[in-house]
Amino acid sequence: MIHECLFNLWDNLSDDISDENNWAYLFELNDFLHPGEKKLLLMIAAIAIDFHKINGFVQKVLNPALTSNDDCGTLVRCTSPQPRGMYITAFCNGIDKVLQDYRDEIVNLENTLLQNPQLPLLFILSSVERYRKLFEVLLSMINLIQKSNIRGCLLIGRMHNYICGVDQIAKAADVIIQSINPMFCRHLCNWIIYGDLVDTYEEFFIVDEKTSDENFLYPEQLADYAGSNTSLLHKKSKMHRPPPVRKFIINWKMVPVFIDTDTVETILFMGRIVWIMRNDPKKSTNETYEIKHKRDIWEGKDYEYYRRIQSLEKKTFDAIEFKMIMEECRVTLTKYLWTVMLVEGNLIDHLHLIRDFYALGRGELFQQFITVAEDHLKAETSGLATHSLNFIFLETARKIYGENDKTYTRFELLSIADDLSKIFE
């Protein structure tokens, strides 16, 4: 009887064990059991059944090819589809590590009973009783995942709720969190450092919409593409406009509770900027496009920043350290972005031109342009108004400045009204 008890503590030998009340009747000598022994068996059975429920869930996730709905047994109720993804797999790996201490205890218990066969059932109960509360907590985690469909980054936040003053439960939660952390840190590193988003099961809180970001499009581009299902990333524009940029958004439902809104938006900003720098959208519209400046976003320290973020996986989440690392990455990236604007974008030259042309520095040009445009556009149809405006502007500037100053060629006029002829009436 003692050995059968140990076998059931270690492994579920029958699918007929649906509840602890039936467990004691598996013994051939059940009629000879003392009521006290039967009660002890039922208490041991409750712990064993909890273990089998937890282990059954773990095996279904880690070895889906070896299990099916028909093989779930009566111990683990298949009431909902089995969750999938890297995070739930890491979660089950963490639980499996937590259960290893229980397995070792059963092996030691068997060795002890082989050396001392006279030990009673009470000795077995006293050895496994300390796992009762732990198994209840692990089962509550599993039930929460199955009923609320908790997955991805949400798992990390929910696991932090189990860190409490009970040492055994806190250690188990810490083991599980450290099993999930590498998945989260890997997503963060790939997104922030390389602008890469590999998320097959959509478990990260940054989502690739696989379309163009309207924030990087001009109004006329939005009008051209509204209602078109064709990807904007490969469609060429006849106008000199910035090419479309991939759209990334935040899935707020997947944001862990311990990351505040500002930090989440900072993470989105950093990854999006890195993506733009590493996947220059101009390459998709101009095959001969080459940048003049060699870009090194992280100033040769990308591996160092990668290791900094990766170091977060070795410990339970520390909000202060997490924010410090994110802020350090943001400052470095912002400085680089500012350099790109000044050097590659010639921001200062553009500002000088805008001040020179639009702050009445070229008053004679615009006075002559308005005079000529007023005479020519009264009878112009709206379809040709924009083309005529640009032609008149360029011709007027060429007559005034000649060949010495061609900065005016960098400007292009656009019509907003449907019928520009009304402006001159």
CA 104 to mean position of chain CA atoms: 37
Q: What is the pLDDT of residue 124?
A: 87
Assigned token pair, 22: 């039936």
Mind listing the pLDDT tens digit for each residue in 408-420? 887 877 765 544 4
Q: What is the pLDDT of residue 130?
A: 95
The answer to whether 121 touches 44, Cβ cutoff 8 Å, is: yes
Positions of the chain with pLDDT under 50: 13, 16-21, 24, 27-29, 69-79, 229-239, 284-285, 289, 418-425
Assigned token pair, 171: 């250690």
Nearest CA-CA partner of 219 in 415, 64, 396? 415
Rounded to a whole number of angstroms, the CA Rg of the chain reads 34
CA 338 to mean position of chain CA atoms: 27
Mind listing the pLDDT tens digit for each residue in 342-395? 887 788 888 888 887 776 667 788 888 888 887 776 666 555 677 788 888 888
pTM, rounded to two decimals: 0.76
